[in-house]
Amino acid sequence: MVSRMKTRGGYTVNLEGKPAKEILNLREPTALHLPLRTTRFNFSELHVRDAESVLQGMILASDPGNHGIPLLAPRSGTVSLANNPGHVTIEGLKPDAPKQGFNYPEAYNDVEGLDPRDRTIRKLIRKGAWQFFSDAFTGQVPDPAAIPQAVIISTVNLEPFSVRGDVQLESRLHNFLRGLEQLQPLLEYQPIHLVFPIFRSTLGVKIRAIARGIAWIRLHEIPLLYPHDHPRILARRLGLKSADGIVWSLRTEGVLAVDSAITYDQAVTKRVMAIGGPAAGNRTHFSAIPGYPLDSLREQLGVQEPSRLINGGVFTGTTLGPETLGLDSEMQNLTALPATVKRELLAFMRPAFGKRSYSRTFGSVIRGPFQERLSIALRGEHRPCIACGFCAEVCPVWLLPSVIHRQIFADDLDAAEKSRPDLCVGCGLCSFVCTSKIDLRQEILDLNETLRRESATQEEGALT
């Protein structure tokens, strides 16, 4: 049986620059530059020395604050630590060689006395697959020792220009299904919730037909409204509560990573990514490895200059500055936006036929469906909140962002905390539809960080 999840809020975002379905193979790089910091990880513990020779799959560094998640060598070569701060550079790259044995650091190799489940999870960590797991409620890497109350697997990526699940599954459907089977022994009697879009594709129908016959898989459909694929939203719709324990969350690439690590005993060092946006000349999916030089990537994918390259989507991504030399181990998609900052002459007199508006006040309201060309330009001035309520209409978790904004502006943190900003999933739709151009998303994220620090300070004071 397939259940259809009830949803609230959300928005269909239609932007120019959607990646094509094809997968481009990039040329082999001459060197790799692997960042030691990513969105979630800080690979502060180095396991290699300058000028050391490494083999593909070896552990270069690890994050001691995140269960020892490792940074793996995507290619064999020679390590350079001197010239590129914040990176492990591998030079003199050698093509993929037949599997070779090498010693892991002791913490990853010691499996004596562990039960089969813990041995398997240790392998997932060692092979780089555990970094694809997250706790649906916090977004952090889950504790490997904790048994989850459930697993949520989404085949849907709804943020603009994300990697398409059908592209990842097109030639690897059997790997995906086998990855699901590999996950099941890591659980006790917990279900695996498999999420699909309501839209019926040939591939989706095929997976549904196979999964219906597996007792421990439950199938769910969601509309193609951003951000209803967010793990925390899915967990709430399924009636799961954080007080009952962690919920493992994976996307399609995570299940494929599990299959690579367990079935083939392979290090997960290659993935399908996507690049989109109006400044990307070649909007496509591509096969890449961590550390791939961004300069070479820009050139091969025809990224126009000047442009802003974003790690992730336009709503939740972060700008890649010149200090980042290569793809990090968590990157899934890139967004290229024109760096247009020139003000429009007499913009207030223009009907804006090429601009979309949630309020339907632009001239584009008389046009049929079209894709808006997004840039980094502000397009007008910041204005005070007019309490239009659009932010509340699109919010998928029932928040009132404009009310929280006024409470923050009044420095009334007690009232703001009672408005439940902790429920925010950071999707950014409130900022996107705001007629006053207020960055409501960032205000709420900053508020949550302030409240977290105050709570930690109070706890410390109570202990002393």
Four-point Cα dihedral 34, 35, 41, 42, nearest 10? 110
Q: Do residues 258 and 386 both lie within one domain?
A: no
Q: How confident is the model at residue 286 (pLDDT cuts 50, 70, 90)?
A: very high
Whether 313 is in a domain gets the answer no
What mean pLDDT do residues 172-191 have?
Answer: 92
pLDDT digits (tens, 9 = 90+) for 422-442: 999 999 999 999 989 899 999
Q: Which two tokens stand for residue 265?
A: 């005993």
- Determine the structural domain holding residue 170 and report its residue range: 2-29+116-263
Q: Do residues 24 and 154 both lie within one domain?
A: yes
- The percent of residues above 90 in pLDDT, for the chain, comes to 71
Residue 122's contacts (CB-CB under 8 Å, 6 or more residues apart) are 108, 111, 114, 144
What mean pLDDT do residues 22-37 have?
Answer: 95
Whether 292 is in a domain gets the answer no
Among 56, 24, 17, CA closest to 297: 24
Whether 457 is in a domain gets the answer yes
Q: Do residues 10 and 157 both lie within one domain?
A: yes
Q: Do residues 17 and 163 both lie within one domain?
A: yes
Whether 7 is in a domain gets the answer yes
pLDDT digits (tens, 9 = 90+) for 228-248: 999 999 999 999 999 999 999
Whether 275 is in a domain gets the answer no
Whether 366 is in a domain gets the answer no
Among 384, 377, 376, 352, CA closest to 365: 352
Residue 165's contacts (CB-CB under 8 Å, 6 or more residues apart) are 154, 155, 156, 157, 251, 252
Q: Which two tokens stand for residue 342?
A: 């020139």
pTM: 0.91
Q: Indicate the average pLDDT of the chain.
A: 89
Whether 281 is in a domain gets the answer no
pLDDT digits (tens, 9 = 90+) for 446-462: 999 999 998 888 877 77
Domain boundary pick from 263, 285, 301 = 263
Confidence at residue 350, expressed as pLDDT on a 0 to 100 scale = 57
Burial of 213 (0-12, 13-18, 19+ CB in 10 A): exposed
Tell me how long the chain is.
Answer: 464
Q: How confident is the model at residue 101 (pLDDT cuts 50, 70, 90)?
A: low
Q: Do residues 15 and 164 both lie within one domain?
A: yes
Q: Do residues 20 and 165 both lie within one domain?
A: yes
Domain count of the fold of the chain: 2
Rg of the chain, C-alpha, whole Å: 23
Whether 271 is in a domain gets the answer no
pLDDT digits (tens, 9 = 90+) for 201-215: 777 788 888 888 788
Confidence at residue 96, expressed as pLDDT on a 0 to 100 scale = 64
Domain boundary pick from 235, 263, 291 = 263
What mean pLDDT do residues 66-78 have?
Answer: 95
Q: Do residues 165 and 19 both lie within one domain?
A: yes
Q: Do residues 10 and 144 both lie within one domain?
A: yes
Burial of 176 (0-12, 13-18, 19+ CB in 10 A): buried
Domain boundary pick from 263, 278, 310 = 263
Confidence at residue 294, expressed as pLDDT on a 0 to 100 scale = 97
